Amino acid sequence: MSSNSLVSISDISRDEILDLLDRARYFEENPNSKILDGRVVATLFFEPSTRTRLSFETAVNRLGGRIIGFSDANSTSTSKGETLKDTIKMVANYVDLIVMRHHLEGAARYATEVTDIPVINAGDGANQHPSQTMLDLYSIYKTQGRLNDLTITMVGDLKYGRTVHSLLMAMQYFNPTFNFIASKELQMPEEYKEFCREKGIKFTESTDFSEDVINASDIIYMTRVQRERFTDIMEYERVKNLYTLHNSMLDNSKPTLKILHPLPRVNEIDRDVDDNPKAYYFEQARNGLFARQAIITRALGIDPRK
């Protein structure tokens, strides 16, 4: 097992998070270099994910590294019945770093236990997706100039949304105040509210996406409400538009407010928000490149700033 692996955001300390953010800042200023010259990175996408894969592969390419891998497990020995362990051990013979996405939860953690090569988790089912969390943190840090003492409002699917859960865990070091806005069916699970209580993190919970909450927020983190999450379709039809953000709702919001969304968006942010300078979701995705360059260089033990 390599200690440079990144499986879950909760594996790394406050200092390591700050170090990654500083690396991301460096890469935003210096996106292209040759610091990965001679290094080979495997991108093993047992489950297709175009956005994440392209972002990781661009990150490696811009740093001068080479890539091997696959974007669909059907074209690999997995379809012949090879175990994950065997696939990882085979690939580890060839490369310096493995970036993997898998539909099974815990796959990346297990991969770290069968190889000494560092492994970066690019998503394991509904479990963890730490590079998304790092790009969210970097986006918050960049737009607010700090991570401490911010009011973050999370809206939409707070029950199943892994991005909001991971962001909540990562923010534990920075004295946040959270507002959880969701319908009864999709509220923040008790274990995360208990986590907040244990850590002394302030939070409010409401089914009402009110202007008071919006006006008090530094960050609004919107998520997609998925139809298939509802047992009662009538309930879905009733709530789907209650958690849609319209431009007019931002009239009295803080000038520094930024709207984040992990994308893809459906109708939870109205198109009329897109031209508001407070809309940040497209730049947020761009920050993924720098956050991933930061994670990759940390995993390889390379410090670009030296």
Q: Which residues bind another protein (CB under 8 A)?
A: 8, 83-85, 102-107, 109-110, 124-128, 191
Q: How far is the CB of 161 from another protein (least distance, A)?
A: 15
Q: Which is nearer to another protein, 126 or 266 (CB)?
A: 126
Tokens of 142: 């960049």
Query: What residue type is 172 in one-letter code?
Result: Q
Tokens of 10: 């909760």
Q: How far is the CB of 128 from another protein (least distance, A)?
A: 8
Q: Which is nearer to another protein, 9 or 150 (CB)?
A: 9
Q: Which is nearer to another protein, 58 or 76 (CB)?
A: 76
Residue in this structure with the two tokens 């089914």, named with its chain if needed:
207
Paired with 67 in beta bridges are 41
Paired with 121 in beta bridges are 100
Q: Which is nearer to another protein, 90 or 126 (CB)?
A: 126
Q: How far is the CB of 106 from another protein (least distance, A)?
A: 3
Q: Which is nearer to another protein, 112 or 153 (CB)?
A: 112
Q: Which is nearer to another protein, 8 or 143 (CB)?
A: 8
Q: How far is the CB of 124 from another protein (least distance, A)?
A: 8
DSSP 36: T
d(CA 218, CA 179): 11
d(CA 69, CA 92): 12
Beta sheet of 258-260, edge-to-edge order: 202-206, 177-181, 151-155, 219-222, 258-260
Q: Are 14 and 38 in contact (CB under 8 A)?
A: no
The helix/strand/coil state of 263 is coil
Q: How far is the CB of 45 from another protein (least distance, A)?
A: 16
Q: How far is the CB of 185 from another protein (least distance, A)?
A: 20
Q: Which is nearer to another protein, 82 or 149 (CB)?
A: 82
CA 161, 165, 168, 173 dihedral sign is negative
* Kind of pairing between the strands at 202-206 and 177-181: parallel
Q: Are 213 and 179 in contact (CB under 8 A)?
A: yes
Q: Which is nearer to another protein, 104 or 233 (CB)?
A: 104
d(CA 275, CA 277): 6
Q: How far is the CB of 179 from another protein (least distance, A)?
A: 25
Q: How far is the CB of 85 from another protein (least distance, A)?
A: 7
Residue in this structure with the two tokens 């590294």, named with its chain if needed:
65
Paired with 181 in beta bridges are 155, 206
Residue in this structure with the two tokens 């309930």, named with its chain if needed:
235
